[in-house]
Chain A
Amino acid sequence: MPGEPPAVECRELSVNYGRTPALEAVTLTVARGELVAVLGASGSGKSTLLHAIAGLVPPARGEVWLSGRCVATRQRCDPAERRDIGLVFQNIALWPHLTALDTVAYPLRRARHSRRDSNAQAQQLLERLGIGHLADRRPGELSGGQQQRVGLARALARSPVAFLLDEPTAHLDTHLRAAFQASVRDRRAETGAAALYATHDASEALALADRVAVLVDGRMVQVGVPELVYAEPVSAAAAELTGAFTVVTATVAAAGPAQVSVDLGSGPMIVAGGGLRLGPDPVVARVLLRPDWVVVPGEVPGRVVVSAFRGAHTDYQFETDIGAVHAQLPGPPRLAVGAPVTWGFARAWVLPVEAARRAEPIRLTPAR
């Protein structure tokens, strides 16, 4: 719908805790109905971003807009209760003295619904999340997953313009996690609300989100569709958040649209990919290879040193003259440890020079 203001908009948003900057000049727009995953490591500022949008911390600079209304500037900061937001806390934050029903009815009561009306709606929400039978239990009598669903129901009860979910699956088992994600998706589709989903889990972010925003040390370094963020990270730090990779040094040059020439010493190979600010003139740069871009056989010789079966695929580590390389090949193990191997790659991404300053370790373990 053109002309409709975005559900959430952060403009150059900075937040300090004391003198310590926690967020620096974050600009982010979330359209109505869109789900944006905020991907970042511990301490990168994910929760701070969500709390600033919710109104729990004031901005040091910049602005927050909700549905086209400015709710926070440096001078004026609407309190949380006056923002149309549903927040699911990372540690759930259920009130120990209230039952599940009372907890979910709470936002409705605050919105001046009658008690009967609030309780009915709350009961309905609990039913929807499959915990209607637990309505009269207090948090102490609920399991982690049940508590999480009560927390979600509480956020849903507000019918907000945006849901803010702060690592909501951190405490959940794998199967609960899937169920939870599904319920978020369904509910969001129903209400058309936007959602910001903070997580450090790459697979969760990439799978759920319409777009992924990558936070590194309080700065938003990249925002894009999951495929882009995965395939074309702006830095090794950003790449690390979205999955495993190998960095090798090579002579590179642009080789036409979405193609790059990579020379590892044994002559140039033209593969899909590219790089930021990459020109036709060959330069020495650090090249990022995702494990699933590696192909066997290929032109580069090496030796298998590690093989780890992962079910749907197998992870390998090759020892080569240019260093260790992480590869991910479909199917069960086909290469024996110790055996020689030749490998190549179907795709490569050249990291910007300044972003390559950190020599990132090669990680065999893919993101959990």
Chain B
Amino acid sequence: MRERAGSTAAAVALTVLAVAVVVVPLVELGRVVPAGGSAALTRVLHSPGFGSAAAHSGELAVLVPAVAVPVGTGLALVLRRPDVPCRGLLRLLIVLPLLVPQFVLGYSWSQAYGRGGFSQQLLGAHWAGLNGAVGVVVVLVVDAVPLCFLISSAALAVRAQPQLEQAARVSGAGWWACTRTVTLPMLRPVLAAEVVITAVAALESFAVPQVLGTPAGYQTMTTRVYADLALGSDPALFTDAVVLSLALVVLVALVVLPSDVLLAPRLRTAPAPSPAGPAGPSRRGPPGMLVACVIGAYCVVVALVPTAAIVLAAVTRAVGRAPTPSNWTLDNFRAALDAPTRAAIGHSLELAALAALILTVLGVSAAALGRRGWGRLLGTVVIAPFAIPGSALAVGLLIAYDRRIGGTLALILLAYLAKFWALAHRTLSGAVDRVPPDESRAAHTSGAGPLATARTIWLPALTPALVGAGLLVFVSALHEVTMSSLLYSTGNETLAVAVLNSQELGEVPTTAALSVVLTAMLLVAAVPAWLAMVLARRRRAASQPVWSAVEVADAR
């Protein structure tokens, strides 16, 4: 009886939280649209360019996942091959674009491949398509690939059932047939999660379409929302912006609901636990070295060159100066790291870490609690704020909570929770439903309490997924600019305030220096995390020899 009460309490707590951070702000936002909302809707729908903006947003929502999910998952699959050299380095390079804030992504690409950029200086050629639809799609894909790669890698680590793949190989399936018929179907729920996340992220993206799309007249729903807000001291335009934002939520619901129903039916798995081990030595296809070279080339093009552009911008005196040593300076870092900015970075780090912690816990709880209707409903509800443009969501939060907790970091934290809940939920729900119930039952009957079970059974199994989800939330929250620039108050500045200021002044070098500092900090922070992971793996390996893959099976 007590157990049931606990479960109900947890469900109630989650529901209350979801209502508080998601439903209330959205409802408040909806109430902004006055009684004559239908008039506003008609006005928005018939305004010039609305059709093409909606079409462009839809196009991004389709194209970005269509490319990013296969590429990210493909990289994750290929990098499992033990014969590919330098796998650790390649993994890091693939994830690198994730650490580069979106607000410098557009700049870095135009500096790398645009007119007058590196490629033109070195090779005499630039990519004319960078400004326009193709450029926006490509850069958004590059931004989404690390996310898909992380989620797929985590899922492969959690779901790795080498014997199922071995069974396919022994049945005559080559690497590709095995991947297509066994590995990928096993990953289906996570792939669905990736499609939803990348589609919604593409819908919501603003910085990249703004920098690369606008010059080619490529408008999206979000750039329109921001344009409306920029002139939004006119209440009608503000209403238009809100209506557009809510229309975006509807658009997302149209994308997400069917995919939730169609793509992610639960796989009832026979408990076929097999300890992780080598997936098989059968190396067909191109040799590991070649694979490494191809991935390496990809990393150079999408990660290293644009990142180098940012680093060079950060150390160069002024935009337009040749990035040669005679023009180098550390002044930009000095400007980027003055006392207020340092305090702001501190706040952002705190908030991002808290958001990551809370959301991983929430994500796992929700996924564990609600495998059926309730959980799915929650999964769909929390996707809404992820889709809505940041400023609109922030307005909803301000209306709902500013009188109570305005002027505190708590309001920003609430915004992060609302915005990134979907990220954690979607990443984790796929992984959680694979922890076989028998394993927890076995722990219970062995005398483990709920916490001990969580620590000893769940945590080890879910570590890759938890780390992945936490990292995604952390980085996204750290790079979040729009909402925090609306919700901060004196003494509670976040990084966004510094970023927007230098951006607004056109101080690219300072913005670049800030991004470099952030990325470097993340990399430095990643080292202990990575070491911990390696150590944990070693310890596990020590207690269970590497070759246990097969031999432990003997013991059964």
A106 to B165, CA, bound (A): 13
Contacts of B170 in A (CB 8 A): 54-56, 80-81, 85-87, 155
Task: Kindly report which residue of chain B lies nearest to residue A138, judged by CB atoms.
Answer: B268
Task: For the complex, give the distance between the alpha carbons of A85 and B186 in Å.
Answer: 25
Interface residue range, chain B:
35 or more
- Is B237 part of the contact surface with A, judged by Cβ < 8 Å? no
Q: Is A332 an interface residue (CB 8 A)?
A: no
Cα of A42 to Cα of B548 in the assembled complex, Å: 11
Task: Write out the residue numbers on chain B whose beta carbons fall within 8 Å of the beta carbon of A139.
Answer: 269-270, 272
Query: Min CB distance, A286 to chain B, in Å?
Result: 28
User: Measured between alpha carbons, how far is A94 from B547 in the docked complex, in Å?
Assistant: 22
One of B172, B188, B549 near A81 (C-beta < 8 A):
B172
Cβ distance B181 to chain A, nearest Cβ, rounded Å? 7
Cβ-neighbour of B283 out of A79, A97, A167 (below 8 A) = A79
Indicate whether B129 reaches chain A with its CB closer than 8 angstroms. Answer: no
Question: How far, in angstroms, from A48 to B62 measured CA to CA in the complex?
Answer: 46
Whole-angstrom distance between the Cβ of A52 and the nearest chain B Cβ: 10
Total A-B contacts with CB atoms under 8 angstroms apart: 161
Is B554 a contact of A18 with CB atoms below 8 Å? no
Of the listed stretches B274-282, B410-418, B443-451, name the one at the interface; the rest are far from the partner chain: B274-282
Within 8 A of A (CB), among B155-204: 161, 163-164, 166-175, 177-178, 181-182, 185-186, 188
Known interface pairs A97-B185, A110-B173; A42-B281 also in contact (CB < 8 Å): no
A79 close to B174 (CB less than 8 A): yes
Q: A80-B166, A80-B170 are in contact. Are A95 and B182 (CB under 8 A)?
A: yes
Encode contact with B along A28-46: 1 for CB under 8 Å, 0 otherwise.
Answer: 0000000000001011111
CA–CA, A327 and B200, complex, Å:
75
User: From residue B269, how far is it (CB to closest CB) to chain A in Å?
Assistant: 4
> What is the chain A residue whose CB lies nearest that of B546?
A18
Contact A55 B282 (CB under 8 A): yes
**When the two chains form the complex, which single residue of B164, B549, B556 contacts A170, counting CB atoms closer than 8 Å?**
B556
A89 within 8 A of B: yes
B546 to chain A, nearest CB (A): 4
Contact between chains at B274 and A91 (CB < 8 Å): yes
Given contacts A86-B170, A96-B270, contact A58 B186 (CB under 8 A): no
Flag if B551 contacts A45 (CB, 8 Å).
yes
Contact B284 A79 (CB under 8 A): yes
Given that A56-B281, A110-B173, A110-B177 are contacting pairs, would A93 and B551 also be in contact in the complex, using a CB cutoff of 8 Å?
no
B268 and A43 contact, CB distance less than 8 A: no
Q: Which residues of A contact B161 (CB under 8 A)?
A: 93
- The yes or no answer to B527 lying at the interface (CB within 8 A) is no
**Does B339 have its Cβ within 8 Å of any Cβ on chain A?**
no
A295 CB to closest chain B CB (Å) equals 37
- A91 near B181: Cβ-Cβ < 8 Å: no
Interface centre among B186, B274, B280, B284 (most CB of A within 10 A): B280
- Is B261 an interface position by the 8 A CB rule? no
Tell me how far the C-beta of B540 lies from the nearest C-beta in chain A, rounded to whole angstroms: 14
- Point out the residues of chain A lying under 8 angstroms from B182, CB to CB: 95
Asked if A242 CB lies within 8 Å of chain B CBs, one says no
A259 touches B (CB below 8 Å): no
B283 to A: closest C-beta gap in Å:
7
Contact A97 B267 (CB under 8 A): yes
- Residue in contact with B546 in the complex, picked from A20, A97, A167, CB distance below 8 Å: A20
Task: Across the interface, name the chain B residue whose C-beta is closest to A147.
Answer: B270
Contact code string A54-82 (vs B, CB < 8 Å = 1, else 0)? 11111000000000000000000111110
CA distance A265 to B267 in the complex (A): 69
Q: Is B553 an interface residue (CB 8 A)?
A: yes
Q: Is B505 an interface residue, CB under 8 A from the partner?
A: no
- The reply to whether the CB of A47 lies closer than 8 angstroms to some CB of chain B is yes
Q: Which residues of A lie under 8 Å from residue B164 when comparing CB positions?
A: 93-95
Question: Is A18 touching B547 in the complex (CB atoms < 8 A)?
Answer: yes
A247 in the interface, Cβ–Cβ < 8 Å?
Answer: no
**Can you give 10 A-B contacts (C-beta < 8 A)?**
A48-B547, A56-B280, A57-B550, A77-B283, A79-B283, A87-B167, A90-B554, A91-B556, A93-B161, A97-B185
- On B, residues with C-beta under 8 Å from A are 161, 163-164, 166-175, 177-178, 181-182, 185-186, 188, 267-270, 272-274, 278, 280-284, 545-547, 549-551, 553-556
